Structure 1
């Protein structure tokens, strides 16, 4: 898997760059995975008090929330890149943010 990191200041076009890059790589027949690093204390992958959050609160090391439209795998902590990578199978990984990641 090849990794590309898109890093920059807030409102400088990182997401636009990532979206365009993903579209182009997919159009060329590659499989692509992305990581979006989020620095907001307001963001949570799950909603406190909801059933899947209760699983984590009870001590689950990993919770899968499977809905009608998508599936989310939730770990109850922030993972470093080296712990995320084993879960990703793709030709390319495009990372938005995560300036501490050791990728070009």
Structure 2
């Protein structure tokens, strides 16, 4: 599996870029999975559902399966968050795993940057950031793409990974 990240500060367009890249790579015939890091508490389950009740009762892991989807929810219950490498090892094999977030992990990344967000660029201090997708022209020591130039960004990632 090849891995490529989309990183950047909050409100800089990471999720939109991820969504467009997933669609673009799938349209090119690649199988794609994603991993998204969240800095806040999150729950994909809903109170009142049977699976939620199982978790509330103390289950460490709940598998919710139907004809269209399988969800595996694991409760950490105070254990450390699993590192990205462990999460990658849990995925089924695909052509490409796109990773949103995980700024400090050493995989290749593209940084999403919106001028209006008022944040500083990460790229100048991080050699793992191979390019920046920006809504404004920038002069950097790495390639800079239009934030909405999905095909060009996908071409770059595909070339970088030898897909």
TM-score range, shorter chain: 0.7 to 0.9
Q: CA deviation at 1:45?
A: 2.6
The equivalent residue for 2:9 is 9
1:47 aligns to 2:81 (yes or no): no
Aligned to 1:83: 86
Please state how far the C-alpha of 1:49 moved relative to its aligned partner.
5.6
Aligned-partner Cα distance in 1 for 2:67–2:40: 27
In structure 1, what is the equivalent of residue 97 of structure 2? 93
TM-score by structure 2 length?
Answer: 0.55
Inter-partner Cα distance in structure 2 for 1:28 and 1:102: 26
Matched, 1:60 2:63: no
For residue 73 of structure 1, report the CA deviation from its aligned partner: 1.0
Q: Which is further off, 67-76 or 89-98?
A: 67-76
- SS in structure 1 of the partner of residue 52 of structure 2: helix
Secondary structure at 2:18 match in 1: helix
CA distance in 2, matches of 1:74, 1:100: 25
- Relative distance call for 1:100 and 1:46 in structure 2 (3 A) is farther
Q: Which has the higher contact order (CA 8 A, sep 6+)?
A: 1
Deviations 1:1-60 (A, max 9, x none): 01111110111110111112111111111000011111223x213235642133234443
Question: How many equivalent residue pairs?
Answer: 103
Larger CA deviation: 54-63 vs 10-19: 54-63
Q: Show the counterpart of 1:30.
A: 30
SS where residue 83 of structure 1 aligns? helix
Unpaired segments ≥5 residues, structure 2? 109-163
Quote how far apart the aligned CAs of 1:69 are: 5.6
